[in-house]
Chain A
Amino acid sequence: MLLQMKGVEKRFGGVTALRQGDLEIRAGEVHLVMGENGAGKSTMMKIIAGMQKRDGGAMIWQGQTVDFENPKQAAQMGIAMVHQESLLAPHLSVAENIFLGREIPGPLGTVNRRKMLAEATRLIAQYGFRLQADWMVGRLSPAGKQLVEICRAIQNGTSLLIFDEPTSSLSEAETHEVFRIVRELRERGTGVIYITHRMEELRSVGDRVTILRDGATVHTEALATLTRDRMIQYMVGRAVNSIYSREPLPPGEPLLTVTGVSTPSLLRHVSLTLRAGEIVGLGGLMGAGRTELCRAIFGLDPVSSGTVEVDGRPLALRNPREAVAAGIALIPEDRQRTGLARDLPIGWNVTMANLDAVSPGGVIRHPEEERVTREAIDRLRIRCENGRQRAGRLSGGNQQKVVISKWVNRGARVFLFDEPTRGIDVGAKVEVFAVMDELARQGAAILMVSSELPELLQVADRILVMSQGHLVGELPRGCSQEDIMRLATAPPESGDLLQ
């Protein structure tokens, strides 16, 4: 037994984040930890990695009770963590980041750069990463940063490695890369804890699963015997239709028409039409240009050629203001950074894109704003104390609903959802889908970018696939994951159907 957590507790002020955290990790096993947001997974992992101190319970590492004061102590015992959000220094090189805080010393208190570079190169080669030790980390893709994080963690004699949702920002191919590393670690006898929301990818990597709910461990079982439906039941404490399904509507008039849009950086002659009442999926690998397409339509990135029309009226594509005025909404991929004003009240977020409606003459009518906020909270079933609560205090799913409600309140008719379910739990995902469905029923046109193929298959009426900046194909409802992947990985020249 590598690690035992027994009845571990953690409180923050009056809030109990973990009340009964139990976990056992064997050497050489990949142990999945699952649970909805706020179930206590991250808190438990931070305690294991020495980032937080527990308030109660026992933590036994290789037979001995341990108390870590800081992550460095945990690292010395052989415990390391790969973080979900990159904690790297963007202005330093890959090698410098790998050795950050434990630089190889040179003479007279200097740092031996050459040796660090050589060590890092060796490490990268050992795992076959597509990285170079002297690259600047700030220039790397999210996947590249993740690899650097992994290198940092597995440097020397790590016997337990914790992955906090390692693949949530990665494409399918990159995910397989991470899995390959996880398997390799297992073969070397390293224990791996792997937090994830993406159930469909678990089967190929995990040995056992521990599920947390409301700050307590509720179940541990071998992954091979645990069905998906039971897993969801343990997570949410109730039965959920594990597969969301929606009845598509007959599509109405075209709302958004994109014709031959190219950008200097990536997009090449992309054309598509969204009709009222439609949810159109947009699939493809990371870097295929899906986010870039949304940004171009929304006026965030310059377009070198092509046109975008809403209701037959062309947009100048200069700034988001114009797109917003035309009725386009973008629910961005990076909710924390670009979607939500975390420190502001929910109500202020709700009215942000349509403040004019509650502020005739520039003066805000507070009762009116509160009414609008209450309506939005009811309509999207945002779980909160009241509209004055800070938006950042909500769970991921409810934060996403606040972002969506901003656009519903604006009366937007074309919704661009970029990875709308990233980092939110199962229950909230289904609710987000229900909101999308409702919007479609009220005549909105929806483009939904998702890297999770089952989601696309369940929600979208038809699926467009992008590859290397080209729109390479369209698939009907009822196609398979394999169909999507085949298009997404095809070289664009051979499959350029929609030019």
Chain B
Amino acid sequence: MIKRLLPFLALLTLFVALSIASPSFLTSQNLSSVVRQTAVFNTLALGMTLIIISGGIDLSVGSIVALGGLGGTMAMAKGVPIPLGVLLGIATGLLCGLLNGILITQLRIIPFIVTLGMMGVLRGLALIISDGMPVHDVPKGFQFLGEGTVFGFPFVLVVLIACAVLVHFILEHTRLGRYVFAIGSNAEAAVYAGIPVNFHTVAIYALCGGLAGLAGLIEASRLSTGQPTAGQGYELQAIAAVVIGGGSLRGGEGTVIGTLVGGFIMGLLANGSDLLGINPYVQQALIGAMIIVFVAVDELRKRRVPS
């Protein structure tokens, strides 16, 4: 109970405190910009939630952001219609994730190593296919994904909520989601129970890759360019969001709502620091410290109860 509540309370406290501290915080313009700024790594964090619950990790999502964004924008620059370009970007991410999953299950190398390697491989690939140059020739309409509004809300919020609902549904209501928990909680017991562990592992890495591809398109749309250097370090932000939201790197624990709360806590911290004129160097340290505090509180809570 407390566990689910703590990040919520922190988010709420932060929200109220910032509303009081800065008059420009509680404006639709500012809140929209928080949503837009956090959309990319919140989308990544959704996929990362699946991976972390399964006891894995995906360090390559930042590179997939670049590759997915490039895949989509390069196609659009060649005249492919926008929706098809978006699908191509997502498919690019999906393929990268699929490759991660296949390498992890077939070579039996731990996810940390495989995705660390893939982080470099995919980043290199992004630089190679773009020759290190950004893709500027993007159709105007593509900006709607990252910057557009529907009924006064940022369109990315709609996209994010749709993805969140999807991932939540998968986790809580489908066989795939249940197996994610089973594998993360005790992979060996999952094998003994006859669960097709490899298949489901590949599936979630592919899903995570697809979401990272979408995140890459959002980034490209916000920048109006496909950048081979986009998304650097985003994988760590995504992991941080999951962990602050109660996900456990030991596997078997985590929720979509927690992850989003974690993501928005980080977003508000950054936004609040900007509004209050806190030095960006301090900002970095603050967010880093928050990660440790949240996990420490969680560990203390667990330690009070005997196993």
Using a CB–CB cutoff of 8 Å, the interface residues on chain A facing chain B are 12-13, 15, 17, 298, 300, 320-321, 323-325, 330, 332, 337-344, 348, 352-353, 355-356, 359, 362-364, 366, 392, 406
- Bound state CA distance, A356 and B195, in angstroms? 11
The reply to whether B252 and A323 form a contact with Cβ atoms under 8 Å apart is no
- Checking B185, B190, B195 against A343 with a beta-carbon cut-off of 8 angstroms, the contacting residue is B185
- Bound state CA distance, A434 and B178, in angstroms? 31
Using a CB–CB cutoff of 8 Å, the interface residues on chain B facing chain A are 173-179, 181-182, 185-186, 188-196, 252-253, 304-307
Contact A364 B178, CB 8 Å, known A332-B192, A341-B186, A341-B190:
yes
The reply to whether A355 and B178 form a contact with Cβ atoms under 8 Å apart is yes
The reply to whether A324 and B182 form a contact with Cβ atoms under 8 Å apart is no
The reply to whether B252 and A344 form a contact with Cβ atoms under 8 Å apart is yes
The reply to whether A353 and B194 form a contact with Cβ atoms under 8 Å apart is yes
Closest to B177 in A: A364
Q: Which residues of B contact A12 (CB under 8 A)?
A: 304-306
The reply to whether B194 and A321 form a contact with Cβ atoms under 8 Å apart is yes
Contact A352 B195, CB 8 Å, known A12-B305, A364-B174:
yes
- Bound state CA distance, A364 and B169, in angstroms? 10
- Bound state CA distance, A352 and B304, in angstroms? 29
Contact A355 B175, CB 8 Å, known A12-B306, A341-B182:
yes
A-B contact pairs, 30 of them (CB 8 A): A12-B306, A298-B192, A300-B192, A320-B192, A321-B194, A321-B195, A324-B193, A325-B194, A337-B189, A339-B189, A340-B189, A341-B181, A341-B252, A343-B186, A343-B252, A344-B181, A344-B182, A348-B178, A348-B182, A352-B190, A352-B195, A353-B194, A355-B179, A356-B175, A359-B174, A359-B178, A362-B175, A363-B175, A364-B174, A364-B178
B4 CB to closest chain A CB (Å) equals: 14
The reply to whether A338 and B189 form a contact with Cβ atoms under 8 Å apart is yes
Closest to B252 in A: A343
Closest to B304 in A: A13
The reply to whether B174 and A338 form a contact with Cβ atoms under 8 Å apart is no
- Bound state CA distance, A256 and B182, in angstroms? 29
- Bound state CA distance, A301 and B188, in angstroms? 14
- Bound state CA distance, A487 and B242, in angstroms? 57
A344 CB to closest chain B CB (Å) equals: 5
Besides A300-B191, A338-B188, A339-B189, 5 other CB < 8 A contacts?
A: A13-B304, A320-B191, A344-B185, A355-B175, A366-B173
- Bound state CA distance, A431 and B176, in angstroms? 34
- Bound state CA distance, A340 and B307, in angstroms? 14
Closest to B185 in A: A341
Nearest first, the 8 A-B pairs at minimum CB distance are A324-B194, A341-B185, A12-B306, A353-B193, A341-B186, A321-B194, A359-B175, A352-B193
The reply to whether A363 and B191 form a contact with Cβ atoms under 8 Å apart is no
- Bound state CA distance, A332 and B190, in angstroms? 13
- Bound state CA distance, A356 and B192, in angstroms? 16
Q: Which residues of A contact B252 (CB under 8 A)?
A: 341, 343-344
Q: Which residues of A contact B181 (CB under 8 A)?
A: 341, 344, 348
Q: Which residues of B contact A366 (CB under 8 A)?
A: 173
Q: Which residues of B contact A15 (CB under 8 A)?
A: 305-306
- Checking B173, B192, B305 against A363 with a beta-carbon cut-off of 8 angstroms, the contacting residue is B173
Q: Which residues of A contact B192 (CB under 8 A)?
A: 298, 300, 320, 330, 332, 338-339
- Bound state CA distance, A33 and B298, in angstroms? 36
The reply to whether A337 and B188 form a contact with Cβ atoms under 8 Å apart is yes
Q: Which residues of A contact B190 (CB under 8 A)?
A: 341, 352
The reply to whether A341 and B173 form a contact with Cβ atoms under 8 Å apart is no
- Bound state CA distance, A432 and B227, in angstroms? 62
B175 CB to closest chain A CB (Å) equals: 5
- Bound state CA distance, A339 and B181, in angstroms? 15
- Bound state CA distance, A324 and B192, in angstroms? 9
Q: Which residues of A contact B185 (CB under 8 A)?
A: 341-344
- Bound state CA distance, A339 and B193, in angstroms? 8
- Bound state CA distance, A446 and B306, in angstroms? 35
Closest to A12 in B: B306
- Bound state CA distance, A343 and B248, in angstroms? 11
- Bound state CA distance, A321 and B198, in angstroms? 12
Q: Which residues of A contact B188 (CB under 8 A)?
A: 337-338
The reply to whether B194 and A323 form a contact with Cβ atoms under 8 Å apart is yes
The reply to whether B305 and A321 form a contact with Cβ atoms under 8 Å apart is no
The reply to whether B253 and A343 form a contact with Cβ atoms under 8 Å apart is yes
Closest to B191 in A: A320
Closest to A325 in B: B194
B255 CB to closest chain A CB (Å) equals: 14
Closest to A360 in B: B175
B138 CB to closest chain A CB (Å) equals: 37
- Bound state CA distance, A332 and B179, in angstroms? 20
- Bound state CA distance, A339 and B192, in angstroms? 7
